[in-house]
Amino acid sequence: MSSFKIFDIAGSGMSAQSLRLNVTASNLANAESISGNAAGVYRAREPVFSAVMDKLSGDDAASVRVLGVVENDAPVQSRYEPGHPLADAQGYIYLPNVNVVEQMANMISASRSYQNNVEVMNTSKQLLLATLRLGQ
């Protein structure tokens, strides 16, 4: 495997974690949104990743591919508030299925994974530079 392939691998990980952070931020931003019907309420979104092995180039290198972003299928919350302006005919309002604690843990995990990939890139760069200095 080429020494430079590590930058591609870490870069794909950083890209995946960046998407994960953006999706989590979107979930947190919409955690308190309200709707008058269950179909119109915001649903938490989750990115789907896949590990990809690169065997075409002869290297056994892996990278991360984003397969897409899917909606969480957990049920939305309903609350009886007949005086609310968005309440339906039965007096219910609907809240998203966003678990704020779970989303914060997800954000911390994604942030640390991103930082780890940055450290991998920095360490690889330092090792390559040290290797070049050996020839001086």
Q: What is the 3-state secondary structure (H, E, C) of 20-89?
A: HHHHHHHHHHCCCCCECCCCCCCCCEEEEEEEEEECCCCCCEEEEEEEEEEECCCCCEEEECCCCCCCCC
Query: Using one digit for the tens of pLDDT, what is the confidence trace for 29-55?
Result: 999 999 988 888 999 999 999 988 876
Which pTM value belongs to this model?
0.84
Q: Quick check: 106 and 28 in contact, CB under 8 A?
A: no
Phi and psi, residue 121, nearest 5°? -65, -45
Query: Using one digit for the tens of pLDDT, what is the confidence trace for 50-107?
Result: 988 876 565 666 788 899 999 999 999 999 999 999 999 999 999 999 999 999 999 9
Q: What is the pLDDT of residue 57?
A: 60
Res 26 pLDDT > 90 = yes
What are the domain boundaries of the chain? 5-134
